[in-house]
Amino acid sequence: MNSKLKLEELEIVHDKANNRYTMMVEGATARVNYELKNDKMYLVYSEVPLSLRGKGIGKVLVEKTFEKLTQEGHSAVAVCGYVKSVAANSEKWSKIIG
């Protein structure tokens, strides 16, 4: 990964047509997929391309997803194991994400 790339500057996009949040990193797409049920977003799957794994991108992806969905007024439930882990290990998100 380009050492000049600042993870906090990566942009998260809500792809409503495909029920996912995406983040482009070095030409590859990282994503969190969700299902809508009973006015809640169930975060069911997260994926970071193999070439980008082990660089902290997954955590940034999930935290930016949490930020975006709460800004949009959604409540969410973590189903994906990794998403659950990020929420549980964060003082801020453990109180917000079910």
How is 2-51 classified by DSSP, letter by letter? -TT--GGGPPEEEEGGGTEEEEEETTEEEEEEEEEETTEEEEEEEE--GG
* Percent of the chain predicted with pLDDT > 70: 95
Residue 1 has pLDDT above 70, yes or no: no
Q: Which domains does the chain have, with CATH numbers?
A: 7-95 (3.40.630.30)
Mean pLDDT of 12-17: 97
Q: For 42-85, what is each residue's pLDDT tens digit?
A: 999 999 999 999 989 999 999 999 999 999 999 999 999 999 99
